[in-house]
Structure 1
Amino acid sequence: MKKLSVYIKGTAFSVLTLAVVSSCNIRKEYERPKDAVNENLFRTDMLPKDSLSMAEISWREVFTDPILQRHIEKTLENNLDIRIALQSINSAEAYLKQSKSAYEPTLSIGPNYTFQTQSVNTQFGQIIGARRYVNQYDITLSLGFEADIWGKLKSQEKAQLATYLGSVAAHKSVKSGLVASVASAYYQLLTYDEQKKIITETIKVRESNLETTKALKEAGTLTEVAVQQSEALVYNAQASLIDIDTQIQLLENTMSLLMAVPSQSIERSTLEAQVIPAEVKTGFSASLLANRPDVMQAEYTLMNAFELTNAAKAQFYPTLKLTGTGGVQSVDIDHLFSVNSLFASVVGGLAQPLLNKRQIRTNYDVSLANKESAYLNFRKTVLTAGKEVSDAIRVFSVQDSFINLKTKELNAYKNSVSFSQELVNYGMANYLEVLTANVNALNAELNISNAQYSKMKAAVDLYQALGGGWR
């Protein structure tokens, strides 16, 4: 009974100590930095703010071309970067499960065999007087438990949770980037198709002009110089056609890689069939924190660094550990499972680190530096997001005016070509004027198709910049 009383008192002392010390938890809760985002994060002087952001709708509602939708779906299903990101999530989830199990005690059991003999020439050997051999058998159960009195284990769990959520956000970021990349490449292909059509028609016109020029030379109206210049324009357009065909094939190869399929021709519709959002809703600046995966990932990285700083700080304080062992032990295997072979011990104590070669201080200083770096990276990511939104808004908002002016420019050049050709036919103008107007007309027409692509690309960029594409 006396031994039992001592055991109860020792256990009560340990529990009391645990209760008192636990009340002194030094762990701090994470709070988002107040200066992380403000209402003027991106420039919306040309567009009104709205409580709803276009990023909050599915990419299927933004990219309505059914062929493009099939390409995006195939990319999200097959892309290797997506699959790599999924494995990162699985890895982070495994570490998270491990951190949640840190509160549980460790338990091990196993049989052991020990053979021992003492030196006869030692003091103990001289007392015994002869060499003896001892065989010992035991089956030992070991139990260990560390009390989380300073919140260290809790901080480590929170850090792993932030890592897991960051990997999920990274997966979303990959999806968002892939959706934008496929849509942009698709629109670029349609633009190349349109430009190929323009160049093909230009070749026909220039070949016809070349025949006219040769006829005018035979009539004595023009010289061989005009013929050679007309011929050069035909070759120039034919070379441009080869270049545009090459660009189409290279872009098809890129899209094939995104879809994780061998390089092949890409099915597509036409530039005229595309419908882009007529109304842009940016939402408020704060919505970037909830919509943009890269911003979410940067904040989770900051949360991870914050919690690791908590864990590093807890290393300065005492550690309360409870250990216990028990089992059966005997020098004779025949009596191993008898009542007299039973043994047990329970140890509980606090260990305060004093000298450890500055390891704890170094870990803490490094954690503070990592936390500051994570904060600066988070802040930079937020500002970059605001800049990307501002850029996309500007490009998207001016393209209609730009296309309108370029269309007027094209019409003027076409009229100039017609008038110049007519004047040349009557010997009233230099053929160089026709050539110049012809080149300018082609460039203006190509510029219009590029402007149409720029508007669609700006819509894609704005959708991605606001955090859309992963839903």
Structure 2
Amino acid sequence: MNRWLVALALVMPMAACKMGPDYVRPESHEADEWRLAPATSESIANLPWWELLRDPELQRLIQTALQENQDLRTAVASVEEVQAQLVIARFDLAPSLGYEGRAFVFKTERDTLALPSGGTGGITIPSQVGQGGTLSNANAFAGLKWELDLWGRIRRSIESAHAVLASREEAKRAIVLSLVGNVAEAYFDLRQLDLQVEITKRTLKTWEDTVRLSRIKLEQGVIPKLDLDRFEAERAYAAAQLADLERQVVQKENQFSVLLGRKPARIARGLGLTEQSLPPAVPAGLPSDLLRRRPDILQAEQEWVSATAQIGVAEALRFPQFSLTGALGVANTQLSGFAPGATFAQTAGVSVAGPLLNATALGYQVKVAEARARQAAAQYDRTVVTAFKEVEDALIAVQKSRQQREAQEAQVLSLQSALEMADLRYRGGRASYLDVLTAQRTLFDAELALARTRRNQLTAVVQLYKAVGGGWSPDDVAPTQANLSTVSRPERVSKD
């Protein structure tokens, strides 16, 4: 036993060796400024989603999605799967202990000098058995095997498993962030359609009143039939628009239901589109923070870490594997009534296994692992570049959608005034029906466009929040009325 301890003390220092390269995080993607906004330590990503999205009904819908969405539940189960695989990988570093037991009885009816090959594992029966005999055997052993990780194969495997687990956790966080954003965007889409339905119904009612009055005037001979036809055509146009918008509302609710993990149903509403709040400022933060915050970047980096560790696993397979083995047990053999009694047995040994004819193939396996690591590095670079592009896109969308909304609000006010004036002139007989038609159609289209722009401004803020890696984690405090009261009052999207 002392000799085994000495041998173990000699090989353990060698076990510190690990084949393959160590992962080193790149620094080439660091940036000082955004192209369209100044860099600052403050970031919209520091806000929990319930402080950014202040509509209570929207918050309830997001919480439902976080509990019931099937994609998120799948991601959670995927993380649990990899956690179990990591535990399995760690057990490879420890000795494995197993047991084995066997018992058999062999009986002959005539002279037998030896049992058939394999019948008792090569055991022979002496000629004294005579005209027949019985051989019985029972044994039980406990065996120990410990692979010495001299070249770091097991440790590299554990390192790779750690990286895979971190990658799956970031993938889960990416789904959470995407789910929060998708629910918010779908909700704003739905509120935009609701506002457009309201505008269309109001416009349709106006045209119905106009058609009713025009028929009276036609009967009185005040206006020609052409005026009535024009007004009825505009009423039909508004009715067709309303039918199309109502179709979109139902289809959007069905899409929303999928995000909530439920069958199609009506979606509850909260604040209207013009009542939704916006933060007073939406800073993007520091560009360098993007690499440490955004889940898809962190996921791609961990996949690169895992691929790098697999190079060491492949290289270690080209070298001999050393294992210590041992067994303790008892055996009891009875031969033709002669019972020698139980026998205590112990064994110890060292096994060596290594490649010979497949050494060349294992060398190419290293090249495969290196190629996969280069692919992971390229994918990481692409993810970073895409992330910076998405932030810049969201920044310009936030800036320009606000300017567009302000300009369209002024346009709608002017068109409302123009319609009132055209209608008064037409009723007084000082203007033709074309002035009213043009003013009403232009106002109708402008109001629908303003609803789209208001929605675009809200979704631009949500997209920026997603792009800079804002999100939610189980460690965050759940949204409550107390949380909401402590946040400074944000800017509201102005009404017409």
Structure 2 counterpart of 1:223, one-letter code: P
SS in 2 for 1:286: helix
TM-score normalised over the length of structure 2:
0.84
Match of 1:69 in 2: 59
Match of 2:23 in 1: 30
> Is 1:387 equivalent to 2:397 in the alignment?
no
* Contact in 2 for aligned 1:413/1:441 (Cα 8 Å): yes
- CA change 1:69–1:412 in 2 (3 A) is same
Structure 1 counterpart of 2:27, one-letter code: K
Match of 2:6 in 1: 12
CA RMSD, 1 decimal:
2.8
Cα deviation per residue 1:53-102 (whole Å; 9 max; x = unaligned)? 21122111111122211111122122222221111111111001111111
- CA change 1:416–1:336 in 2 (3 A) is farther
> Is 1:451 equivalent to 2:453 in the alignment?
yes
* Contact in 2 for aligned 1:396/1:459 (Cα 8 Å): yes
CA deviation after TM superposition for structure 1 residue 253, in Å: 2.3
TM-score normalised over the length of structure 1:
0.88
Match of 1:293 in 2: 295
Distance in 2, Cα, partners of 1:191 & 1:22: 64
CA deviation after TM superposition for structure 1 residue 459, in Å: 0.6
Match of 2:40 in 1: 50
Structure 2 counterpart of 1:275, one-letter code: S
Deviates more, 1:51-60 or 1:451-460: 51-60
- CA change 1:153–1:23 in 2 (3 A) is closer
CA deviation after TM superposition for structure 1 residue 115, in Å: 6.3
Match of 1:90 among 71, 77, 80: 80
Match of 1:320 in 2: 322
Structure 2 counterpart of 1:373, one-letter code: Q
Deviates more, 1:363-372 or 1:457-466: 363-372
SS in 1 for 2:277: coil
Report matched runs for 1:287-436 at 5 Å: 287-332=289-334, 338=342, 341-356=343-358, 358-422=360-424, 424-425=426-427, 430-436=432-438
CA deviation after TM superposition for structure 1 residue 462, in Å: 0.6
CA deviation after TM superposition for structure 1 residue 419, in Å: 4.3
Deviates more, 1:110-119 or 1:66-75: 110-119
Distance in 1, Cα, partners of 2:205 & 2:387: 47
Match of 1:118 in 2: 115
Structure 2 counterpart of 1:282, one-letter code: A
Match of 2:491 in 1: none
CA deviation after TM superposition for structure 1 residue 24, in Å: 4.3
The share of aligned pairs that are identical, in percent, is 26
CA deviation after TM superposition for structure 1 residue 357, in Å: 6.5
SS in 2 for 1:103: coil
Report matched runs for 1:71-220 at 5 Å: 71-113=61-103, 118-119=115-116, 134-218=135-219, 220=221
- CA change 1:233–1:23 in 2 (3 A) is closer
- CA change 1:24–1:399 in 2 (3 A) is closer
Distance in 1, Cα, partners of 2:437 & 2:295: 52
- CA change 1:316–1:251 in 2 (3 A) is same
Cα deviation per residue 1:166-201 (whole Å; 9 max; x = unaligned)? 121111111111111111122222222221221111
* Contact in 2 for aligned 1:180/1:461 (Cα 8 Å): yes
CA deviation after TM superposition for structure 1 residue 213, in Å: 3.4
* Contact in 2 for aligned 1:325/1:344 (Cα 8 Å): yes
Deviates more, 1:158-167 or 1:253-262: 253-262
Distance in 1, Cα, partners of 2:94 & 2:364: 28
Structure 2 counterpart of 1:46, one-letter code: L
SS in 2 for 1:21: helix
* Contact in 2 for aligned 1:329/1:336 (Cα 8 Å): no
Where do 4+ consecutive residues of structure 1 move more than 6 Å?
Answer: 127-133
Distance in 2, Cα, partners of 1:436 & 1:426: 18
> Is 1:252 equivalent to 2:253 in the alignment?
yes
- CA change 1:317–1:240 in 2 (3 A) is same
* Contact in 2 for aligned 1:89/1:164 (Cα 8 Å): yes
Distance in 2, Cα, partners of 1:416 & 1:240: 23
- CA change 1:175–1:25 in 2 (3 A) is closer
Unaligned runs of 5+ in 1: 1-6
Distance in 1, Cα, partners of 2:68 & 2:101: 51
CA deviation after TM superposition for structure 1 residue 379, in Å: 1.4
* Contact in 1 for aligned 2:188/2:455 (Cα 8 Å): yes
Distance in 2, Cα, partners of 1:322 & 1:448: 77
SS in 1 for 2:24: coil
Distance in 1, Cα, partners of 2:203 & 2:293: 46
Match of 1:3 in 2: none
Equivalenced residue count is: 456
- CA change 1:335–1:221 in 2 (3 A) is farther
- CA change 1:364–1:423 in 2 (3 A) is same
* Contact in 1 for aligned 2:141/2:328 (Cα 8 Å): yes
SS in 2 for 1:52: coil
Distance in 2, Cα, partners of 1:74 & 1:433: 50
SS in 1 for 2:275: coil
Structure 1 counterpart of 2:182, one-letter code: S
Distance in 1, Cα, partners of 2:18 & 2:88: 22
* Contact in 2 for aligned 1:328/1:337 (Cα 8 Å): no
SS in 2 for 1:272: helix
* Contact in 2 for aligned 1:210/1:230 (Cα 8 Å): yes
- CA change 1:55–1:354 in 2 (3 A) is same
SS in 2 for 1:47: coil
* Contact in 1 for aligned 2:326/2:349 (Cα 8 Å): yes
- CA change 1:223–1:44 in 2 (3 A) is farther
* Contact in 1 for aligned 2:328/2:346 (Cα 8 Å): yes
Cα deviation per residue 1:6-47 (whole Å; 9 max; x = unaligned)? x6446534542x146335443543211233x2206xx73432
Unaligned runs of 5+ in 2: 107-113, 118-122, 474-496
